[in-house]
Homo-oligomer: A and B are copies of this chain.
Amino acid sequence: MEHGGKPRPMKGIRQLAEHLDISIGTVSRALNGKPDVNEETRKRVLAAAEQLGYVANQSGRSLRQGTTNVIGLMIQSSRETVENSDNFFLTVTGGLQSVFSRHKLDLIMLPCPHDEDPYEYLKRMVARRIVDALIISETQRVDKRFDLLAKAKIPFAALGRSLSGTQHPWADLDFDGVANAAVDRLVAHGHRRIAISAPASEINLGFVFVEGYRRALERHGIPYDPALVLRAKSSEQGGYQVGDELLRLENQPTAVILIYELMAIGLYRRLMEAGIVPGRDIAVVSFREAPRAKFLQPALTCFRTSVHDLGVELAEILLSSMPAYSQEYPRTSRQTVWPLELIPGESDAFQLKAAK
């Protein structure tokens, strides 16, 4: 009533066709931009559809053409992830959508329930044919999902690199490079005994981060000491725990690299409790910049990147591997290591004088 048109409930393309006194086939062609339809009738159809609020039923459409125009982003909202992913996924989603929307592709997020096996969940989603393509995240070092998707012949890309030999599209943050740069910087400041925090090595992230650290040490002729690799949760508590473990070490490190900037809050606290001042008595460098890092005292040296742009890249990688879109996104490589930039703070801004 309040709007101008007749808000009669729209049933389907059939009613729309009757209302226009045109055949149903022509209506469909008009709506889908097919060539063999008079421009004038096309306008009439579009106008009527707009006015009556007609939108094609997705089920009918996808049943017929075997395509849904929907792309799924699977996330495992494990307890751990929920606590630390810190809107990483929502930000990535923004980047993904900015690309997909150009092609009238909708992105939906598929959150795997806590109590369901991610592999089984993915299998269900694939079989139900609810999406045309998939993006999976939180890749593991051995991840059966790659095979599953390859066998199902459904296009996919991974947020997180592959470490097995399988070749598939992925984009990942440059954990390797971050670890390298962190070690380089700390060594330049005089540090030789450097600890690192990381999640379990079954997680790709945990493995790659430590590997980069190890190789950087080697490059500087510093022996790799497994005792300095502190496995902890990526949270405030984890940071506190890292502080605990640091204090317990015999030959105490003069620097520590964190995998996640939230940990710095707990770490700072634990160190302060022990009378150790970050940025003076111990150097702290952390992967990944966040607004709150700026508010830590001393300001945290960390690495920044645009997660949004990572999403854009990932979307383009995925589309480039889909036949229907590949010519629009020509690429030489479908595997991207996404760079990060060092943001110097004060948490490591001191030269180490002598051994403690």
Contact = CB atoms under 8 A, between A and B. Distances in A.
Contact of A114 (B94, B109, B130): B94
Interface stretch (A37-45, A56-64, A207-215): A56-64
A244 interface: no
Contacts of A268: 295
A347 interface: no
Contacts of A123: 53, 55
A83 B291 contact: yes
Contacts of A54: 127
Interface stretch (A20-28, A175-183, A235-243, A252-260): A235-243
A349 interface: no
Interface in A47-95: 53-60, 62-63, 68, 70, 72, 75, 77, 81-83, 85-87, 89-91, 93-94
A90 B78 CA distance: 9
A111 B124 contact: no
A269 interface: yes
Contacts of A57: 63, 128-129
A89 B116 CA distance: 19
A128 B130 CA distance: 13
Interface in A262-304: 262, 265-266, 268-269, 291-292, 294-295, 297
Contacts of A344: none
What is the count of identical protomers in the complex? 2
A110 interface: yes
B237 A266 contact: no
A7 interface: yes
Contacts of A127: 53-55
Contacts of A82: 87, 90-91, 94
Contacts of A56: 128
A72 to B, nearest CB: 8
A327 interface: no
A77 B59 contact: no
Nearest to A125: B106
A356 interface: no
A237 B130 CA distance: 40
A151 B1 CA distance: 12
A113 interface: yes
Contacts of A107: 111
A292 B236 contact: yes
Given A101-B116, A107-B111, A111-B90, A269 B291 contact: no
A328 interface: no
Given A94-B77, A116-B101, A129 B236 contact: no
A108 interface: yes
The 4 closest A-B pairs by CB, nearest first: A55-B127, A109-B109, A59-B63, A58-B128
